[in-house]
Chains A and B, each alone.
Chain A
Amino acid sequence: MKLLRRARRRVPSYGPDSADPVLLTAIAAGEAEALEILHRRHAPWLRARLNYRCSDPDQVDAALQETFLAVWKSAASFTPRPGDTDAGAWLWTIAIRQLISQLRKRANRWIGELETEPYETIGDASAEDTVLLNIEHGPLGAALHSLSPELRAAIQATILDGLTVREAAQILQIPEGTVKTRVMRAKARLREALTS
C-alpha cells in the first residue's frame, strides 16, 4: 500500500538547499523532511514580521503552527510563476490570514468562522501599489514619515501585507469603511508628497 501511495506522486529529490517550489512538491507528496526544511527556512522571518502585527507571542506561535499545517495540507495548490524560486509571498499571505483568524478566535467568538479565501500570491498589484512596495528605495520613506500612524497602518495592512479591506478591518479593529477612506486619504497624501 505504501509503495502504491508513493508511486502515485513522484517525489522530487530535494535537500536543504532546494528551492521552495521543489520542497513544496515534495511536501505535497507527503515528505515531512521537506516541511522541516521549509519550516527552518521561513519560520524565523515570518515570526519576526508577525511580531510587529501582534504583541502576544503565544498567538503568533499558534498562527505559525497553523500556517505550516495549512502548507502541509495544501502544498499542492502552490503554483509558482515561471522562474519564481521563492514561496515567501505565498507563505506570508497564509501566515497573516492565520494570525487574523487567531485574533478573531480569541476576541469575538460569536461572529462566525472566518470564511477562508483561497491563498494566492500577492503582488498582482496596481502600478501605484508597486511603487509603494519599493519603499526601501527613494523618497517614499520620507513621505511615509509625514503620514499619521492611522493612515500608515491602513497602507501597511492593505498594500504591504496584501490583505483585503475586510481583513484589514479585522486586524486593525476598525470598520471597513474607515479602512477604505484611510487608504484613499493616505494614497492622496503620498502622491502629493512624491510629486511636489
Chain B
Amino acid sequence: MSGWHLTPAQAHDYAARRTDEITAMSVEAHLMHCPPCRSMLPADEEWLADGWASLRDVVDRPRRGVVETLLSHTGLRAETAKLLAATPRLYQAWLGSTVVVLIAALAAAHTLPRGSLMFVFLAPVVPLVGVALAYGRGIDPAHTLASVTPMAGQRLLFLRTCAVLVPALLLCTGAGLLLPHTVTAWDAIFWLLPALTLVSGSLLLGRMMHLSVASGVVGGLWVLGLILVSLSGQGVPLGVFAPQAQMWWGVLLATLVGALVFRVRVA
C-alpha cells in the first residue's frame, strides 16, 4: 500500500464524529484495508465489556438438541420440551435393558414352541418398569433438587411418565410387529390396554406409597394373575387379551384414569 496513514489526531477526530464528510470518506476507504490504522481508533473499554457480556449471554446458551427442537415445534412450552428431551438420560439403563429383554423375547418366540408367551407376559410390564424408574428418591440423582422446584410433584411425575411411555410403547409395538404370528396390526398391540392399565394403576397406588413399590405391587399382581390363570388349567393365558377381555381392560383403564384425575384435582 501507500505511505498514507491516519495520524492519531485524525483517528480521534474520526471516532468522535468530528470529521467532515469528505475526510470521513477517505478515512473509511483507508480503514477498510489497513488493520493497523483501525486499531488506532480509541476503544471504549467499558462499552466493549458491556457489549461482550450481552453477547456471551447468547453465545454461551447451550444449543438445543434435535428432539427438543422437534418437541417445541409441536407447540409445547420451551421448558416442557427441555424436560421431556432431557428425561431419557435418566433411564438410559432401562432403555438399554428393555431392548435386550425384547430381543430375547423375540428370539424365544422365533425358536421355542409357544415362545411368544414370553413376549405376552413381558410387554405390559416393560412400560411399568420404566415408569417406576422415572421418578423417585432412589433413582433420580437430582431428586432433592427437583423436588423443591415449582415443577415438582404430580406435574413432573406425569411429564416424565409420558417421556417414558412413548419410547416404551414404540419399542413394544416394534417387537410386536416382529412376532412370528403377527398378521394384522391388531396382533402387535393387543398388550397396549393392559399395559396402560397397569401404569395408571401404579400411578394411583403411588399416591399412597413410593412409586417403585407401587409399580412392584402392580407388576407382581399381574404376574401372579397370569400364573394363576395358567395353573387353573383353563388353557392358554392368552384369554386375557381376547377381544372381550380388551373391553374390560378399557373399562378398567378409564376408571383408573378417572380416579387419578379426580385425586389430582382434589389434592
Contact = CB atoms under 8 A, between A and B. Distances in A.
Given A45-B41, A48-B15, A134 B25 contact: no
By secondary structure, the B interface counts as helix
B28 A49 contact: yes
Contacts, number: 89
A39 B51 contact: yes
A149 B55 contact: no
Interface stretch (A85-93, A103-111, A185-193): A85-93
Interface string A115-151: 0000000000000000001111100010011000100
Nearest to B39: A41
Interface in B21-68: 21-33, 35, 38-39, 41-44, 47-48, 51-52, 54-56, 58-60
B4 A136 contact: yes
By secondary structure, the A interface counts as helix
A145 B22 contact: yes
Contacts of B35: 86, 88
Interface residues of A, number: 37
A128 to B, nearest CB: 14
A76 B43 CA distance: 27
A100 to B, nearest CB: 17
Given A65-B54, A68-B55, A149-B21, A88 B31 contact: yes
A133 B31 contact: no
B21 A152 contact: yes
A144 B48 contact: no
A22 interface: no
B59 to A, nearest CB: 5
A135 B48 contact: no
A137 B22 CA distance: 12
A5 to B, nearest CB: 9
Contacts of A149: 21
Contacts of A43: 43, 48, 51
Nearest to A42: B38
Nearest to B54: A65
B51 A65 contact: yes
A159 B85 CA distance: 50
Contacts of A45: 31, 38, 41
A141 B22 contact: yes
Nearest to B55: A68
Task: Give 4 closest A-B pairs by Cβ, nearest first.
Answer: A136-B26, A44-B43, A135-B26, A45-B38
Interface of A: 32, 35-36, 39-45, 47-49, 51-52, 61, 64-65, 68-69, 72, 86, 88-89, 92, 133-137, 141, 144-145, 149, 152, 156, 160
28 contacts: A39-B48, A39-B55, A40-B48, A42-B38, A43-B51, A44-B15, A49-B28, A61-B51, A64-B51, A65-B51, A69-B59, A72-B55, A88-B33, A88-B35, A89-B32, A89-B33, A133-B29, A133-B32, A135-B26, A136-B4, A136-B29, A137-B2, A137-B4, A141-B22, A141-B23, A152-B22, A152-B25, A160-B25
